[in-house]
Structure 1
Amino acid sequence: MSVLARWCARHRLVVLGVWAGAVVVLISLVVGLGSNFKTVADLPSSESAHAYTLLGTSAGSTETGRIVWHATGQAVDSAPVRDDVAGMLAKVASLPGVDAVASPYTAGDPSRLNTSQNTAYADVTVTDDVDVAQVRQAAQSIENDHLKVETGGQAFAPETKAGGIAEVVGILAALLVLLVMFRSAWAAALPIITGVVGVVASLLFVMVGSHVVDLSSESITMGSLIGLGVGIDYALFIVDRHRKALMAGASVTDAIGQAGNTSGRAVIFAGLTVIAALLAMFVGGMGVLTGMGQAAAVTVLFTVLAAITLLPALLSVLGPRVLSRRQRRLLSNSGAPAVSGPTSRRAHARRGPARRWAALVTRVPAPMAVLALVVLAALALPVLSMRVGEADASSDPAGSTSRQYYELMSPAFGGGIDATLLLVAETPDAGSARALDVLVTQLPSVPDVASVAVGATAGDGIQVVQVTPSSSSGAKATVDLVDHLRRDVIPAAEAGSHLQVSVGGQTATNIDIAHALMSKLPLYLVLVAGLGFLLLVLAFRSLLVPLVGAVSNLATILVGLGALTAIFQWGWASNLLGVGDGAPISYIVPIMVVGVMFGLSMDYQVFLVSRIREEWAHTRDNTRSIRVGVAETAKVIATAAVIMLCVFSSFGFSGQRIVSCIGIGLALAVVVDAFVVRMILVPALLRMIGDRVWAYPRWADRLTPHLAIEGPADKIDIPSDQVDAPPTDDLVGVAGHASAVADRR
């Protein structure tokens, strides 16, 4: 890594030119080819998928939306209203992408007309290329003081786009944090520039790749969310190490080489763990989720490449300007490393908050560990009530198009009008047909069934029955209804006949997808935890350290899931974030949070424990090693976590419920991981275990390859009265005394 970093520093113009050229080429390809994102409608093997197979269709091949109108001051079936609506529906039917329009006035179906509520609606069947905004504009062209019109349903669900002021504010907040830490505008800007360039290049690459791999448009949002956070953090670690080397007296090129050989190695290791966790999402068995994981993995790969190639080139261009004015002045005046003597170091150590905190944790490890576990348990507790599903219009933000549509429809036709279940029945003989008739007569008496309608024959021996629930698609009562139909009602009707009934429809499909993914979540957790354990074994040649890391990573993941359960399912802050009322957590969210948070937790674990391990290798004093490791990494870990908080939480205001869930869940989990898990729980547990934590069986030592994450380190001899004493420079602060000595040597 030192060779690569030095080469990039010496050939900085070539590196900058390659990155600029790559971005230009990718932009040209995107301009010429565009993107080819698509909704991947592959369904796991389930009853609803079988129902679609019987109907000869799929979840994404046909879509139906609705236009609803409510009259005031006149009857909804009066001649003036009928004339206005007829003209509007004719205009809608003539629009591109509209296949059919079923009016309540001409279809002879009284179920679409509620005269007591003065409300009626029309079903609109559309193709994928329909312009939803155009349909909405045509529908609302007849609105007046006496007629209110809204569009909604699956086909007309509003599309919200992430990006904009919230993400810009997040990046600016991260820049402010870096300014406070580095006191240098150039040093603060470097992680932002590196992270943004890596993310932009990766997203352009993903857009071109969408012509080859099936990807959904949400992959762009997921990639930018994850890439910005990890990209800025990775660059931060390298810039911080580079500055320490400069302050220790190294030349610019040597400092770049040292940073690449230490933090650069850690960045590669951390990035590969994140990529592995994202690619492991294939266990979910869904193309849309696998595609998101692949796109996010590509983004992380680009940010790692930017950190180990583009950043050294930029550091070489800036030279000593990466230091603050005070630091440059100290170097120029003294002509020596800006590290003061023992007296100054001891004075600074006495007032160093990180040193005092490290001493406290190692002095009373058991109470600190109990405190951390209590906090983690309290934050993770809501996960026990987490319910996975899909939010519906009833929980959308007040005043939104979809919420206004729901508020017109539900009083007249019930909350479950858009949650219709399709009972697809196979009736090969007369006996099965009679059994179906009996079932149809029994369905209205089933709890939470609002209405039952027998549809047209869908094929030879295939009959469709539409069951409308009383509650919305996101309500627990609707999930219970589907389970009750499948487990009790339908099997009882099928008994003694050849009747076979499959429950389908969009609502049942969402329930089946959620069940399929959640049933695989334990496997995914075991997979990522096992992967983390093995990687940490390779890194630290210990069994107990990886075990502590794996368990603590799982604790952080549970905290993230618990936080988003309270915020978005219980609705504690979902309205403040602009995504509406409490609703079930989308089935995509837990998998994404588990994968990403595993990688981020590994980052901080590696950064902390590698410094502890380095000190242990030199002193064989476990307590001192933990104290030094915590004191010297606390500032960088805390800064990195605050940056992650700024970037991830900015996506919480995107207006998209799924993106907001992932962003806020990751933001809170990262903060808890840094300040509770890494700064309290892990060091307390390592202190309680004692020297045994570094034990490693001889047979395993012979079989395990040697992996130096932080590169080869020279032995550091620090007098006992200077343990944990950092340099006096206010920027370097509590981090890096021992590493600075090593760099100087």
Structure 2
Amino acid sequence: MATYLYRLGRHCFRRRRAVLAVWIALLIAIGGAAGAFAGRTSDEFKVPGTEAQATLDRIKDTFPEQGHGSAQVVFAAPAPGGIASPGATRAIGEAVGRIAHVPGVAAVPDPYATGAVSPDGKVAIALVSFDHKLADVTDQQRDAVRAAAEPARAAGLDVAFGGDAYNRFAQIEGGSEAIGLMVAGVVLVITLGTLVAAGLPLLTALVGVAAAMAGLLVLTGSFEIITTAPVLALMVGLAVGIDYALFILFRYRRHLDEGLEPEESATRATATAGSAVVFAGLTVVVALAGLAVAGVPFLTVMGLAASGAVVVAVLVAITLLPAVLGFTGRAIDRLPIWKRALATHGKVTAGERWARFVVRRPLPVLLVGLAGLGAMAVPAASLDLGLPGGGSQAVGTDGRKAYDLVSDSFGPGFNAPLVVVVDAHGAPRPEQAVQGVAGKLQGLDGVRTLLPPKVDRAGGTALVPVIPKTGPDDEATRALVDEIRDQRAGIESATGASIAVTGTTAANIDVSTKLGQALPPFVAVIVGIALVLLALAFRSVLVPLKAVLGFLLSILASLGAVVAVYQWGWLDGLIDVPKVGPVVSFVPILLIGVLFGLAMDYELFLVSGMKEQYVHGEAPREAVVGGVKGGARVVTAAALIMISVFGAFVLGHDPIVQPIGFALAVGVLVDAFVVRMALVPAAMALFGRAAWWFPGPLEKVVPKVDMEGEQLIARLEEERREARQPAGV
């Protein structure tokens, strides 16, 4: 690999203008295609095969409105009974009439006619049904519905808009990524010392993210892509794009300090650090693509979108960066901010001092680190999964106002309606069978009330809306869904009709259950991949095992922090959590997929340095010190950049984006600074020579990966010696 990348780096360095022109042309082409073919992303978290989704698919022809977008328009009066006043009645009636004429609105019943008025007379709900699915509801239609409610606002009523159409998720609030980039820029300036050097990783990362995001936008025109996919691609693309460029640039600067010419420095950096970048990028791509193991389509799309961003970041790092270095040459040291001390030969660095501290006391460091991670992991045992709804929106938003008004005035269960589909075709008296099912449902402890059933024209299928006593995030609501399904056989035998539970609340419960069940097999796949890749990279048995155990510790500690903050409400006030409750159901599996790749990055860059020192004759503990000394600075900078990029998204209020950013930021913090910088050197010091033991039979069959370019450098040195010999010798 190193030999191929050496040739590629030299080619890009020498033909820098052509490489730059190709990337510019590519950006223009993809950007133009995005402008021409981009579509809308979807907010629907659907999982085929679950009972709720299968039932919706089965009744889509009989009750097509069940698959369409819907909204709540909530009218509130300040005084009890105010909704029933003549002025309020007239204003709400006018608003409802105007909403009914908005293009795309199929129906909006008068709340007075349907009885959708709270017992205290302060709140009324108008349920808006669109004539197309949620993904096709446009912002123009949402705005038109808002504008149509103006008569109610003019009459002094508060109006809030909620429901599926207004519960928008995965919306990046302006400035989040900019803050992350600014912090990353500061870290780069401190690490590299000059504005030119610090600017290159930012520039190349932005190019990669622009290309990846534009390509993803092109796909939205032909495929259904979940809204969270571009957000995850942006997060991961920015973080790895900066880090991969930093790894290569760091090696380039070292080669310049060693006296090599810029071209040779760039090509060697591309060959050696570039090999590690390609290998690390491969682990991230495999992990993210491995999300398909869960069998959840929207999660698969998220993983593929993010892995695409990583592929682009790797391509930028090994092609565009060498070309840009061809333009800068030694000018990379221009615009200095501080006098750098990159050359560490003969100097005792902070990384070396820390490494010597660890190898002198490996067992205490290991025990303290394990105890700390164990304490962080304790809350993870209480992990509860769910999907966000109106109650997860930030306080003050339309969706949250509507949710709170409905919950306070009608009861939390009105925000968590279930739909029981009754198929009475096999019953002697279908209408009586539907009433019998309704009677059985009404007798369940968790049911507050039933709304009037809706029967199809043939009279054989009915929808029975069930209002629970508790909200969508409550464990009692999940228990009610399970109870209805558990009593299905008894209800069917008593009434002669078959039943199934569906609706948004039941679908979200099914998705969370499915994702929870997918965690163990996904972890097993990830662990297997890690063992194979690291055995391939390091030709060792203990190194892969140690790396996997460290990764699992990082995951548990990170999940513990997520549960403590987002489920238990710790740090409330410091982190503005929209609503304390169940953790977003796909956060754990995303955390595992993304953090696996990043953890393997740090493992590769640190342990490869240790192996290089050991192979060159250093004693095991001195090899550990040498590896940490050579990699501590770049790994520290890379981790701080990752933390700043991910952590910037915590500043927003989106109920999906915020916990994902928090989980990844904490995960990188724990893995880089506790696991890789403390536990790994401590374990390697305890292992001694056994760390590099590899069975003889495997030695013969496992291919050799020249990741550090040892074979390449040996060949280059041999060619140099031959070139210096006189002709004929």
363, 375, 388: which one aligns with 1:391: 388
CA spacing shift, 1:574–1:580, aligned 2, 3 Å: farther
Gaps of 5+ in 2: 715-729
Task: Give the match for residue 61 of structure 1.
Answer: 67
Worse-matched range after superposition: 600-609 or 397-406: 397-406
From the superposition, tell whether residues 21 and 322 of structure 1 become closer, same or farther in structure 2 (CA, over 3 Å): same
Return 445-454 or 33-42, whichever deviates more.
Answer: 33-42
Which residue matches 2:306? 296
Q: Equivalences for 1:12-91 in 2 at 5 Å? A: 12-35=16-39, 37-38=41-42, 42-56=46-60, 61-73=67-79, 75-91=82-98
Matches of 1:92 and 1:327 in 2, distance apart? Answer: 60
Report the CA distance between 1:406 and its aligned residue. 2.1
- Contact 1:238-1:260 at 8 Å conserved across structures: yes
In structure 2, the CA distance between the partners of 1:59 and 1:67, relative to structure 1 (3 Å rule), is closer
Deviation string 1:230-264 (CA, Å, 9 cap, x unpaired) is 11000011111100110111110111111111100
- Is 1:467 matched with 2:466? yes
Q: Cα distance, 1:451 vs. partner?
A: 0.8
**TM-score, normalised via structure 2 length:** 0.91
CA 436–90 in structure 1, closer or farther in 2 if over 3 Å, else same: closer
Question: 1:164 Cα shift?
Answer: 2.3
Q: Deviations over 1:406-437 (max 9, x none)?
A: 23212221112121101112221138876654
Any residues of structure 2 matched to 1:643-658 within 5 Å, and which?
643-658=641-656
Shift in alpha-carbon separation, 1:227–1:12, aligned structure 2, 3 A: same
CA RMSD in angstroms comes to 2.5
Aligned to 2:413, the other structure's residue is in SS state coil
CA distance in 2, matches of 1:676, 1:529: 20
> Residue by residue, what CA displacement relative to the aligned partner does 1:299-339 show, whole Å, maximum 9, x if unpaired?
111111111111111112111122367899999xxxxx977
Write the distance in 1 (CA, Å) between the matches of 2:51 and 2:438.
19
- The Cα of 1:483 is off from its aligned counterpart by 1.7
Out of 120, 124, 129, the residue aligned to residue 128 of structure 2 is: 124
Write the letter of the residue equivalent to 2:19. Answer: V
Letter in 1 for 2:86: A
**Aligned CA distance change for structure 1 residues 518 and 339 (closer, same or farther; 3 Å):** closer
Question: SS at the partner of 2:501?
Answer: strand
Separation (CA, whole Å) in 2 of partners of 1:220 and 1:353: 39
Q: Which amino acid aligns with 1:424?
A: V
Letter in 2 for 1:101: V
- Superposition pairs for residues 716-727 of structure 1, below 5 Å? none
- Pick from 194, 201, 210 the counterpart of residue 220 of structure 2: 210
What is the match of residue 630 of structure 2?
A: 632
Query: How many angstroms apart in 1 are the aligned matches of 2:507 and 2:703?
Result: 47
Choose 418-427 or 430-439, whichever is displaced more.
Answer: 430-439
Conserved in 2, the CA contact under 8 Å of 1:182 and 1:324? no
Compute the displacement of 1:174 (Å).
0.5
Question: Contact 1:436 / 1:493 at 8 angstroms: preserved in 2?
Answer: no
Alignment partners' CA distance in 1, 2:42 and 2:66: 11
Please say if 1:196 is aligned against 2:202: no
Q: Partner of 1:724 in structure 2?
A: none
Query: Contact (CA 8 Å) 1:414, 1:450: kept in 2 or not?
Result: no
Which amino acid in the other structure matches residue 482 of structure 1? V
Describe the shift of the 1:326–1:152 C-alpha distance in structure 2 as closer, same or farther (beyond 3 A). Answer: closer
Assess if the C-alpha contact under 8 Å between 1:50 and 1:502 holds in 2: no
Q: Deviations over 1:555-606 (max 9, x none)?
A: 2122222222222222334665545121212222222111111100000000
**Which residue number corresponds to residue 239 of structure 1?**
249
Residues of 2 paired with 1:540 and 1:59: CA distance?
58
How far apart are the structure 2 equivalents of 1:103 and 1:661? 39
1:546 is aligned to 544
> Offset at 1:120?
1.6
Task: String of CA shifts for 1:188-238, please: whole Å, max 9, x gaps.
Answer: 011111111111011111212333443233322111111000110000111
Q: Does the aligned pair in 2 maintain the 1:229–1:644 contact within 8 Å?
A: yes
Q: Compared with structure 1, are the counterparts of its residues 338 and 185 closer, same or farther at alpha carbon in structure 2 (3 Å cutoff)?
A: same
Q: 1:393 to 1:572 in 2, by over 3 A?
A: farther
Q: CA deviation at 1:695?
A: 1.0
- 2:10 & 2:351 partners in 1: Cα distance? 33
Alignment partners' CA distance in 1, 2:320 and 2:665 = 27
Q: Cα deviations across residues 45-65 of structure 1 (Å, max 9, x unaligned)?
A: 122123213422689831222
Distance 1:328 1:371 in 2: 36
For 1:555, the equivalent position in structure 2 comes to: 553
Measure the CA separation in 2 of the matches of 1:267 and 1:117.
Answer: 64
| SS class of match (1:652) | helix
Partner of 1:356: 353
2:108 to 80, 101, 107: 101
SS at match of 1:76: helix
Contact 2:427 2:433 in 1 (8 A): no
Q: Secondary structure at the match of 1:203?
A: helix
CA distance in 1, matches of 2:436, 2:523: 45
Equivalent position amino acid for 1:18 in 2: V
State the partner residue of 1:667.
665
Question: Corresponding residue for 1:481?
Answer: 480
Q: Please state if 1:312 is matched with 2:348.
A: no
CA distance in 2, matches of 1:560, 1:498: 50
| 1:486 aligned partner, one-letter code | R
Which amino acid counterpart does residue 470 of structure 2 have in structure 1?
S
**Take 1:330 and 1:548, find their aligned partners in 2: how far apart are those partners?**
35
In 2, the alpha carbon distance for the partners of 1:662 and 1:141 equals: 40
Aligned partner of 1:701 in structure 2 is: 699
Contact 1:435-1:494 within 8 A present in 2 as well: no
SS in 1 for 2:67: coil
In structure 1, distance between residues paired with 2:339 and 2:282:
39
Instruction: Using the TM superposition, give the Cα deviation of residue 554 of structure 1 relative to its aligned residue in structure 2, in angstroms.
Output: 1.7
Separation of aligned partners in 1, 2:355 and 2:573: 39
Q: What are the residue-to-residue correspondences of 1:457-606 with 2, within 5 Å?
A: 457-458=455-456, 461-487=460-486, 489-495=487-493, 498-573=496-571, 576-606=574-604
Are positions 1:114 and 2:111 aligned together?
no
Structure 1 residue 145 displacement after superposition: 7.1
- Distance in 2, matches of 1:499 and 1:662, equals 43
Instruction: Tell me the distance in 2 between the aligned counterparts of 1:320 and 1:479.
Output: 64
- SS of the counterpart of 1:250? coil
**Contact 1:601-1:673 at 8 Å conserved across structures:** yes
Secondary structure at the aligned position of 1:216 is classed as coil
Task: Tell me if the contact between 1:320 and 1:328 (Cα under 8 Å) persists in the aligned partners.
Answer: no
SS at match of 1:441: helix
Deviation at 1:382, TM superposition (A): 1.6
2: distance between equivalents of 1:516 and 1:576? Answer: 33
Partner Cα distance (2:560, 2:289) in 1? 24
In the alignment, what sits opposite 2:718?
A: none
The verdict on how the C-alpha distance between 1:541 and 1:132 changes in structure 2, with shifts beyond 3 A counting, is same
Q: 1:664 to 1:421 in 2, by over 3 A?
A: same
Distance 2:680 2:344 in 1: 30
Query: CA separation of 1:576/1:392 partners in 2, compared to 1, >3 Å: closer, same or farther?
Result: farther
Q: Percent identity?
A: 33
Q: TM-score, normalised by structure 1?
A: 0.89
The aligned residue for residue 712 of structure 1 is: 710
Q: C-alpha offsets along residues 133-162 of structure 1, whole Å, 9 cap, x if unaligned?
A: 221232244215742221211233246631
CA distance in 2, matches of 1:232, 1:165: 18
Q: Structure 1 pair 227/697, CA: closer, same or farther in 2 (3 Å)?
A: same
In 2, Cα distance between equivalents of 1:339 and 1:541: 28
